[in-house]
Amino acid sequence: MMMTEENEVESTLSVCGHNIQIAEVLKDGEMLSFLIVSQKLSGTGEYHVHRNYDDFEWLQHNLFCQEDVAGIQGVIFPPLPAKAQVNTAAKVMKQLGFLSLGEWQPYCKALEVFLQQVAAHSILSKNKAVEVFLTNPDSPGKQKVKKNIFNRLSQAVDGMRKEGHKDVDDFFQTARDHNLVLTNCTKTVTEKLLEVVQTEQKIAVACGHFSAALLLCVEPGDDPNKQAFSKVCVKLSEVFESMKKSTTGVSENDVSTMGLGLDLESRYQEAIKEMLFRRTCKLVELEHARRNAEKAKPVKKAAMEELRKAAETEFEDISRVAKEEITRFEAVRVKMLQQAMVQWCEKQLLTAKECADQFTQHLEVFRGMNFK
Amino acid sequence: MADTDREDEELFTEPSGTQSQPASLSTEDVSANTNGPNQDALFDDDPEDLFAEATEEVSLDSPERDILLSDGPSPAITPITPPTSVIAPRIGHTHDDMFTHSSFDEIEEEEVDDSFDINISVSDPEKVGEYVVHPVQEQKTSMSLFKQREFSVKRRFSDFLGLHSKLASKYLHVGYIVPPAPEKSIVGMTKVKVGKEDQSSNEFVEKRRSALERYLMRTVKHHILLKDPDVLQFLESSELPRAVSTQALSSAGLLRMVNKAADAVNKMTIKMNESDAWFEEKQQHFESLDVQLRKLHISVESLVCHRKELSVNTAQFAKSAAMLGNSEDHTALSRALSQLAEVEEKMDQLHQDQANADFYLFSELLGDYVRLLAAVKGVFDHRIKTWQKWQDSQILLQKKREAEAKLQFTNKSDKLQQAKDEIKDMEGRVQQDERDFEQISRTIRKEVGRFEKERVKDFKTSIIKYLESLVLTQQQVIKSYFTFRYVTASV
User: Is 90 exceeded by the pLDDT of residue B2?
Assistant: no
Contacts of B292 in chain A (CB under 8 A): 213, 216-217
Task: Give the model's pLDDT for residue A160.
Answer: 64
Q: Are strands A31-39 and A46-52 parallel, antiparallel or unpaired?
A: antiparallel
Task: Give the model's pLDDT for residue B408.
Answer: 82
Q: Are strands B131-141 and B150-155 parallel, antiparallel or unpaired?
A: antiparallel
Which has more pLDDT, B347 or A220?
B347
**pLDDT grade, residue A140 (50/70/90)?**
confident
State the nearest Cα–Cα gap between B483 and chain A, in angstroms: 10
Task: Give the model's pLDDT for residue A56.
Answer: 93
Alpha-carbon torsion, ordered A79, A82, A85, A89, to 10 deg = -160
Task: Give the model's pLDDT for residue B39.
Answer: 37
Q: Which CATH architecture has domain A161-372?
A: Up-down Bundle (1.20)
Tell me which of A211, A243, A359 to substitute to probe the interface with B (most B C-beta atoms closer than 10 Å).
Answer: A359
Q: For residue B438, count other CB atoms closer than 10 A to its CB.
A: 14
User: Is 90 exceeded by the pLDDT of residue B119?
Assistant: no
Which has more pLDDT, B138 or B210?
B210
Task: Give the model's pLDDT for residue B9.
Answer: 35
Alpha-carbon gap, residue B61 to B75, rounded angstroms: 27
Which has more pLDDT, B395 or B151?
B395
User: Is 80 exceeded by the pLDDT of residue A212?
Assistant: yes
Mean pLDDT over residues B213-229, rounded? 88
Say yes or no: A226 contacts chain B, CB-CB below 8 A: yes
Which H or E element spans position A303? helix A298-367
Task: Give the model's pLDDT for residue A165.
Answer: 86
CB-based contact A25:A104 (threshold 8 Å): yes
Mean pLDDT over residues A250-266, rounded? 95
User: Is 90 exceeded by the pLDDT of residue B479?
Assistant: yes
Alpha-carbon gap, residue B373 to B365, rounded angstroms: 12
Alpha-carbon gap, residue A27 to A16, rounded angstroms: 27
Tell me which of B291, B294, B303 to substitute to probe the interface with A (most A C-beta atoms closer than 10 Å).
Answer: B303
* DSSP per-residue codes, A68-129: TSTTGGGS-PPPPPPP--TT--HHHHHHHGGGGSGGGHHHHHHHHHHHHHHHH-TTGGGSHH
The residue ranges of every structural domain in chain A are 1-137, 161-372
Lowest mean pLDDT across A327-336, B157-166, B340-349: B157-166
Task: Give the model's pLDDT for residue B78.
Answer: 33
Q: Which of B390, B400, B389, B376 is nearest to B454 (CA)?
A: B376
Lowest mean pLDDT across A129-143, A178-192, B64-78, B325-339: B64-78
Q: For residue B466, count other CB atoms closer than 10 A to its CB.
A: 23
- A:134-193 residues touching chain B, CB 8 A cutoff: 178, 181-182, 185-186, 188-189, 191-193
Of these ranges, B15-19, B119-123, B165-169, the one predicted with the greatest mean pLDDT is B165-169
Mean pLDDT over residues B213-217, rounded? 89
Contacts of B484 in chain A (CB under 8 A): 341, 345
H/E/C letters for each residue in chain B? CCCCCCCCCCCCCCCCCCCCCCCCCCCCCHHHCCCCCCHHHHCCCCCCCHHHCCCCCCCCCHHHHHHHHCCCCCCCCCCCCHHHHCCCCCCCCCCHHHCCCCCCHHHHHCCCCCCCEEEEEECCCEEECCEEEEEEEEEEECCCCCCCCEEEEEECHHHHHHHHHHHHHHHHHHCCCCCCCCCCCHHHHHHHHHCCCCHHHHHHHHHHHHHHHHHHHHHHHCCCHHHCHHHHHHHHCCCCCCCCCCCCCCHHHHHHHHHHHHHHHHHCCCCCCCCCHHHHHHHHHHHHHHHHHHHHHHHHHHHHHHHHHHHHHHHHHHHHHHHHHHHCCCHHHHHHHHHHHHHHHHHHHHHHHHHHHHHHHHHHHHHHHHHHHHHHHHHHHHHHHHHHHHHHHHHHHHHHHHHHHHHHCCCCHHHHHHHHHHHHHHHHHHHHHHHHHHHHHHHHHHHHHHHHHHHHHHHHHHHHHHHHHHHHHHHHHHHHHHHHHHHHHCC
User: Is 90 exceeded by the pLDDT of residue A272?
Assistant: yes
Alpha-carbon gap, residue A136 to B338, rounded angstroms: 47
Mean pLDDT over residues A193-209, rounded? 96
Q: What is the largest CA-CA distance in chain A?
A: 111
Task: Give the model's pLDDT for residue B195.
Answer: 59
B453 exposed, middle or buried (CB, 10 Å; 0-12, 13-18, 19+)? middle
**pLDDT grade, residue B227 (50/70/90)?**
confident
Chain segment B86-100, per-residue pLDDT in tens: 333 333 333 333 333
User: Is 80 exceeded by the pLDDT of residue B44?
Assistant: no
> Whole-number mean pLDDT of chain A?
88
Task: Give the model's pLDDT for residue B256.
Answer: 54
Alpha-carbon gap, residue A244 to A237, rounded angstroms: 11
User: Is 50 exceeded by the pLDDT of residue A311?
Assistant: yes
pTM given for the model? 0.78
- Quote the percentage of chain B above a pLDDT of 90: 31
Contacts of A225 in chain B (CB under 8 A): 449, 452-453, 455-456
Lowest mean pLDDT across A37-46, A347-356, B310-319, B446-455: A37-46
Q: Mention every residue, 6+ apart, whose C-beta is less than 8 A from residue B121.
A: B136, B137, B138, B213
Q: Are strands B117-122 and B131-141 parallel, antiparallel or unpaired?
A: antiparallel
Which H or E element spans position A165? none
Task: Give the model's pLDDT for residue B418.
Answer: 85
Q: Within its chain, how far is the Cα of A316 from the centroid?
A: 30
Mean pLDDT over residues B336-359, rounded? 94
Could you tell me which chain A residue has the CA closest to the CA of B477?
A352
Task: Give the model's pLDDT for residue B265.
Answer: 57
Chain segment A314-351, per-residue pLDDT in tens: 999 999 999 999 999 998 899 999 999 999 999 999 99
Mean pLDDT over residues A35-57, rounded? 90
Task: Give the model's pLDDT for residue B406.
Answer: 85
CB-based contact A307:A57 (threshold 8 Å): no
**pLDDT grade, residue B116 (50/70/90)?**
low
**pLDDT grade, residue B205 (50/70/90)?**
confident
- Quote the percentage of chain A above a pLDDT of 70: 91
Query: What CATH class is the domain A1-137?
Result: alpha beta
User: Is 70 exceeded by the pLDDT of residue A145?
Assistant: no
Lowest mean pLDDT across B18-22, B237-241, B423-427: B18-22
CB-based contact B243:B26 (threshold 8 Å): no
Cα dihedral across residues A305, A308, A310, A313: positive or negative: negative
* Residue A338: C-alpha distances to residues A266, B317, B347 (Å): 15, 18, 20
CB contact under 8 A, B463 and A359: no
User: Is 80 exceeded by the pLDDT of residue A46?
Assistant: yes
Task: Give the model's pLDDT for residue A300.
Answer: 85
Chain segment B261-318, per-residue pLDDT in tens: 555 655 556 667 777 888 888 988 999 999 999 999 999 999 999 999 999 999 999 9
CB contact under 8 A, A206 and B306: yes
Task: Give the model's pLDDT for residue A6.
Answer: 44
Contacts of A235 in chain B (CB under 8 A): 463
**pLDDT grade, residue B21 (50/70/90)?**
very low
Lowest mean pLDDT across A289-293, A355-359, B235-239, B484-488: B235-239
* DSSP per-residue codes, A2-55: PPPPP--S-----B-STT-EEEEEEEETTEEEEEEEEEBSSSS-EEEEEEEHHH
Q: Mention every residue, 6+ apart, whose C-beta is less than 8 A from residue B265.
A: B69
CB contact under 8 A, B333 and A334: yes
Task: Give the model's pLDDT for residue A240.
Answer: 96
Task: Give the model's pLDDT for residue B304.
Answer: 94
> Whole-number mean pLDDT of chain B?
72
CB contact under 8 A, A210 and B470: no
User: Is 60 exceeded by the pLDDT of residue A266?
Assistant: yes
Task: Give the model's pLDDT for residue B57.
Answer: 34
Alpha-carbon gap, residue A30 to A350, rounded angstroms: 38
Q: Which of B167, B172, B170 is nearest to B77 (CA)?
A: B170
State the nearest Cα–Cα gap between A42 and chain B, in angstroms: 36
CB contact under 8 A, A236 and B293: no
CB-based contact B61:B374 (threshold 8 Å): yes
User: Is 70 exceeded by the pLDDT of residue B1?
Assistant: no
Q: Mention every residue, 6+ apart, whose C-beta is less than 8 A from residue B349.
A: none
Task: Give the model's pLDDT for residue A333.
Answer: 92
Contacts 24+ apart (CB under 8 A), B279-286: B279/B380, B279/B383, B279/B441, B279/B444, B282/B380, B282/B448, B283/B380, B285/A219, B286/B373, B286/B376, B286/B377, B286/B380
Single-letter code of the amino acid located at B406: K
State the nearest Cα–Cα gap between B214 and chain A, in angstroms: 20
Mean pLDDT over residues B76-89, rounded? 33
B206 exposed, middle or buried (CB, 10 Å; 0-12, 13-18, 19+)? middle
User: Is 50 exceeded by the pLDDT of residue A175?
Assistant: yes
Task: Give the model's pLDDT for residue B250.
Answer: 44
Task: Give the model's pLDDT for residue B22.
Answer: 40
Task: Give the model's pLDDT for residue B26.
Answer: 36
